[in-house]
Structure 1
């Protein structure tokens, strides 16, 4: 049984004593998606072949997949054909041989290779290989033979490609209804996909031809709008009108509403306003949504007074429509943001009465209580907060309500005998929360020892053997097939059925350096063990010292707390180096390319390629440097976290507007919902990391005052 050395499956730390046939630079380049990876792998293969080393096949597999990734099919076929690898990798070799044959135009050879892959594939590979088998058989003209594979593949993962191809197979086997259903699904579910228009054309060729209804045209238009294609959205609406499907006033209003949203996305504000005016003349459901879109536009433009007026009109004019719920909530929220606390109390009280089935009632009650607190109406605030806890005992706002109930007593001047039990309840009932941290600090200020939230620090299970369920993933990693390794881990994790399996699997992943996968397994299966039973082995997967050498080294270099780095990393990526956001933030610390370029300039380094931001070492270094600069400027982790999420300029503005408030109130009044939650989690995680792993006998304290920002430090 081979022992492993704690090197990450996806984030291989080289020099661990593992006898790599590939050069370390090759695997590092593959991991970072560097352009030189293919050339390095080719050189490794040539050197290994010349010396007749036993790993030539494994290196050929890596080099072949890299050649495929860059579209060099001829080289991929040369490398992969005739290669020989050990048993665990053979299905993957067959799969990539199939890919090379397919893209070289040899569909028959591809089908044969994919068939071999399916025979002995792991579950993670099997679905991919079966789908490609069906596609290859279809391309080879063996339409009927492709049907079984495509039926299974399209049922398991109904993508636009597989549904379109299954439609062809169904036609060949005489399943006309199935063909029609698949083509229609492609056209309606995936309107922005290239196959969608082709599916529409084929539907028009059927006998009898299928024509879309107005509702279906609108479904496609909304899908195109969601995909960011406003031009094609407008074209889809024009098709509906050309087909004389837009007849009744209700039809015209529905089309006008979607048209207004598309026009707004293209910057044609006046035309959008005209379309909204038409939509507002439609039936109540359409008119209400049109009015709400107008109110949201004002809110997005920071015209809060106009937004409040329009939101109030929506709630009053269409009280039975779903958008009235959100509109009524925003009326109170905008009053609160403007400092009109008495009006906010009234608005949220009215919301609670009018929207008795709203999913936002607990949030509305919380904001109503906050308005009472800002008015120093502490008894009224407690009545609302206690009502929230009683009415919504499972709400995520319960720790918040309990903290502010106790805090309201303290603000009234009550003694610790009154406030203390409330704070202690927050700590013992929600020990990992931001409010447990605040309650701990309040008790210390009052001279009362807070209870221990977690009796024991996280503890990792020890074992020296690679667990059987991860051996294939490790073999794939050693071959440089990091994506395949990740999919194998995810497939194995999805089959966990109980907490005992989850605990063993999560700790195996921790020992392999796969902190992100371990955290995901724990979040799905071990929440109660970690935060209910307070089991230290369960906590270890939620709060790992991920990439410890890099974090501690860079934190020391840039004089920032390693615990703050871990807290930010946990919130940003959940310890997954491969994560990319919709805003193009990348890697463990979610650095966007423009920020990376600015940091590189400050450090007098060459600008990194965007793909290099997935490197754990680079991401940690840039994130640590950036956090150190934010701490220089803001000198408080709450403000540094706010700036990391929303930018330094926003944090400066919030301090200017509300910096006189104590920290707890300041954070509650951060206007961005995402940043508000971000700051709370980062602070909670920072102090948990400190309490778990800190070496100081005296616990670190959280300052409850908001300091003014300094002029030094970053402004980007």
Structure 2
């Protein structure tokens, strides 16, 4: 197509035609993943044709809109060359640089974002400089540089910003204070906000921070007072949902189930946001109802949890508990959750059983030239080019769910599981209720590729690493993107830190020549699987502790992982690190989806159910675990 044609024309020396071709691509596909490279090629061709002024526009667009892309870094070099040549042109304004910095921040490129904001502090534009100061502080908080953030915000507040901006800065100062364990500073900020912005959402946010601090310190009464104040005085604040949750959870843990029900009850209303928090509160409303003997209320709330989000972690828990509702008893579950052995057999041929709408598109879209070209390129082993063709075709059919599903299947054929996952998410955006059950099964295989499990079994070292769990971790760590880089430097599909990769390769006896090897899926899978199997053994093959260890490191997990409550759902909700807590929930959800697609009932594949359904038997097993453990893979 246009992108490929430009390369052919450039190689033939037909630069004017090549430039026209790449401009056509830029204009026709403004959202395509190849656009950054196309903008760079457009600028290069303009320079080759001795028209540096024409190169400025594409370079500026590239640097502003795609600041973290490798093409943007090359573009900065070209800009330097144009400046050195003496060509006069209008470059990026302070406002545009601020926007660029925000894009870097949103993309988690914190080092580059901090550099951009720091340079803007003395740009000569007071409004931009003040905004840059706050953005720099937010960036430093993301980097866990809390002292630096506090210093930047203190200087900013000396400029006496307006009330709204002052309140925002004070909130972030409070956040930094809590993370520095400086409760005295947080309480001073609370008083200042009470004087300067008594009705602001920032004050509600600071009160919530104080509640969290006292919660974590074991001062439940003080924490509860803060949460109740938010509920009574800031009913319209975004913080109020979290305050209801914290209040209800404290009552639940204390065994005050009726009070917990009252606190969780607002989530039964449709206007509670975000949906994730609503699912969480409705689920625990059901659990509290169950504990207090209100089985019918519990069953209704479990059903509502799945109505909010059928694919959520909490829906999976609800389905498990609903399985035993007729028995009408209340029971917990104990002991470690065991994983599926690596050598287990599973079915991968999941097909529609009712001739539903799911398979219709294979004929409908096959006439498209891009589809045909992609299929031929896959046969020739040129998977990256095939993926590019399918990306263009996906843009053309973005409103056609049937076509998108077929494109997703061919993306999997090309080994591009990341783009296939994007197709899956686009399909699910329309809502699964619009599709037949058979169609949903086929669509799920785009989001949870079973053929990847087979690839994992081929690339992973022999041992106890569960291939379904490896696939689930890949999906949640990187979205199957082999080029993924985390803000802290974890690399590849399994998001392995370079030091962990080197140590794992040495212990596993695997070939490893350096961090760039982690971008190779087969290497990342092999080392990540080895590490996962190793930490799994350290924690007694306990599913929850294994997942948590992959994120936070086994040493940290073993500090708080035992003893634990019999009910595993309660244990997960009490994981002390919020990042690890959410991570465990996401991976468990994905793991269960893989097991279902493979033909298993998740609770039947574990040594015991993840949680015991209403009416199930109570069993307790497990013992003390002791191990040393490695550094975390992904933190």
TM-score tier after normalising by the smaller chain length: 0.7 to 0.9
How many residues align? The count is: 571
Q: 1:545 to 1:310 in 2, by over 3 A?
A: farther
2:45 pairs, out of 131, 136, 141, with 136
Partner of 1:645: 551
2:238 pairs, out of 359, 368, 373, with 359
1:715 pairs, out of 615, 623, 630, with 630
Question: How far did residue 608 of structure 1 move?
Answer: 3.6
Q: 1:709 to 1:115 in 2, by over 3 A?
A: farther
Matched, 1:382 2:261: yes
Q: Is the 8 A contact 1:221 1:236 kept in 2?
A: no
2:278 pairs, out of 385, 398, 416, with 398
Question: How far did residue 590 of structure 1 move?
Answer: 1.9
| In 2: Cα distance, 1:410 partner to 1:675 partner | 27
| In 1: Cα distance, 2:564 partner to 2:478 partner | 30
| In 2: Cα distance, 1:261 partner to 1:289 partner | 11
Query: Comparing 553-562 with 683-692, which one deviates more in the overlay?
Result: 553-562
The correspondence of residues 84-163 of structure 1 with structure 2, limited to 5 A, is 91=5, 93-94=7-8, 97=11, 110-115=15-20, 132-133=41-42, 135-142=44-51, 146=54, 158-160=61-63
| In 2: Cα distance, 1:680 partner to 1:714 partner | 22
Matched, 1:623 2:528: yes
| In 2: Cα distance, 1:356 partner to 1:90 partner | 57
Partner of 1:69: none
Question: How far did residue 599 of structure 1 move?
Answer: 0.8
Q: 1:293 to 1:423 in 2, by over 3 A?
A: closer
Q: Is the 8 A contact 2:201 2:237 kept in 1?
A: no
Question: How far did residue 602 of structure 1 move?
Answer: 0.9
1:493 pairs, out of 394, 416, 431, with 394
Q: What SS class does the counterpart of residue 269 from structure 2 fall into?
A: helix
Partner of 1:435: 314
1:471 pairs, out of 363, 368, 372, with 372
Q: Is the 8 A contact 1:279 1:286 kept in 2?
A: no
Matched, 1:309 2:216: no
Q: What SS class does the counterpart of residue 469 from structure 2 fall into?
A: helix
Question: How far did residue 505 of structure 1 move?
Answer: 2.3
Question: How far did residue 545 of structure 1 move?
Answer: 0.8
| In 2: Cα distance, 1:367 partner to 1:110 partner | 64
Q: Deviations over 1:125-149 (max 9, x none)?
A: 79965763465335533579x59xx
| In 1: Cα distance, 2:145 partner to 2:4 partner | 54
Partner of 2:341: none
1:547 pairs, out of 435, 439, 452, with 452
Matched, 1:664 2:569: yes
Q: 1:197 to 1:233 in 2, by over 3 A?
A: farther
1:296 pairs, out of 175, 184, 206, with 175
| In 1: Cα distance, 2:305 partner to 2:191 partner | 40
| In 2: Cα distance, 1:698 partner to 1:573 partner | 28
Matched, 1:373 2:271: no
Partner of 1:57: none
Q: What SS class does the counterpart of residue 276 from structure 2 fall into?
A: coil
Q: Deviations over 1:662-700 (max 9, x none)?
A: 322222222333322211121122223223314589454
Q: Deviations over 1:196-215 (max 9, x none)?
A: 89999999989xx99989x8
Q: Is the 8 A contact 1:406 1:423 kept in 2?
A: yes
Q: What are the ranges of 5 or more consecutive residues in structure 2 without an aligned counterpart?
A: 67-71, 330-347, 353-357, 612-619
| In 1: Cα distance, 2:297 partner to 2:92 partner | 71
Q: Is the 8 A contact 2:535 2:546 kept in 1?
A: yes
Q: Is the 8 A contact 2:305 2:315 kept in 1?
A: yes
Query: Comparing 460-469 with 197-206, which one deviates more in the overlay?
Result: 197-206
Q: Is the 8 A contact 2:295 2:328 kept in 1?
A: no
Partner of 1:675: 580
| In 1: Cα distance, 2:132 partner to 2:548 partner | 41
Question: How far did residue 610 of structure 1 move?
Answer: 2.3
Q: Deviations over 1:639-661 (max 9, x none)?
A: 211111222233223325x7347
| In 1: Cα distance, 2:51 partner to 2:503 partner | 55
| In 2: Cα distance, 1:422 partner to 1:257 partner | 42
Q: 1:426 to 1:220 in 2, by over 3 A?
A: closer
Say which structure, 1 or 2, has more relative contact order (CA 8 Å, 6+ apart): 2
1:585 pairs, out of 456, 470, 490, with 490
Matched, 1:279 2:157: yes
Q: Is the 8 A contact 1:252 1:279 kept in 2?
A: no
TM-score by structure 2 length?
Answer: 0.73
Q: What SS class does the counterpart of residue 339 from structure 1 fall into?
A: coil
Q: Is the 8 A contact 2:453 2:471 kept in 1?
A: no
Q: Is the 8 A contact 1:89 1:475 kept in 2?
A: no
Q: Is the 8 A contact 2:378 2:414 kept in 1?
A: no
1:702 pairs, out of 587, 597, 609, with 609
Partner of 1:342: 221
Q: Is the 8 A contact 1:509 1:518 kept in 2?
A: yes
The correspondence of residues 53-68 of structure 1 with structure 2, limited to 5 A, is none
Partner of 1:507: 409
Partner of 2:288: 408
Partner of 1:38: none
Q: 1:480 to 1:130 in 2, by over 3 A?
A: farther
Q: Is the 8 A contact 1:253 1:286 kept in 2?
A: no
Question: How far did residue 597 of structure 1 move?
Answer: 0.6
Q: Is the 8 A contact 1:555 1:624 kept in 2?
A: yes
Q: What SS class does the counterpart of residue 558 from structure 1 fall into?
A: coil
Question: How far did residue 620 of structure 1 move?
Answer: 1.9
Partner of 2:468: 563
Q: Is the 8 A contact 2:555 2:629 kept in 1?
A: no
1:521 pairs, out of 410, 423, 426, with 423
| In 2: Cα distance, 1:260 partner to 1:429 partner | 36
Q: Is the 8 A contact 1:645 1:678 kept in 2?
A: yes
Q: Is the 8 A contact 1:336 1:371 kept in 2?
A: no
Q: Is the 8 A contact 2:459 2:522 kept in 1?
A: no
Q: 1:556 to 1:439 in 2, by over 3 A?
A: farther
Q: Deviations over 1:349-385 (max 9, x none)?
A: 3223443443343333222221222333322221221
Q: Is the 8 A contact 2:123 2:129 kept in 1?
A: no
Question: How far did residue 567 of structure 1 move?
Answer: 1.6
Q: Deviations over 1:606-640 (max 9, x none)?
A: 33432222222222222222221222122321121
Q: 1:576 to 1:291 in 2, by over 3 A?
A: closer
| In 1: Cα distance, 2:156 partner to 2:21 partner | 60
Q: What SS class does the counterpart of residue 490 from structure 1 fall into?
A: helix
Instruction: Give the root-mean-square deviation of aligned CA atoms.
Output: 5.0
TM-score by structure 1 length?
Answer: 0.66
The correspondence of residues 78-89 of structure 1 with structure 2, limited to 5 A, is none
| In 2: Cα distance, 1:641 partner to 1:344 partner | 30
| In 2: Cα distance, 1:441 partner to 1:271 partner | 45
| In 2: Cα distance, 1:621 partner to 1:389 partner | 45
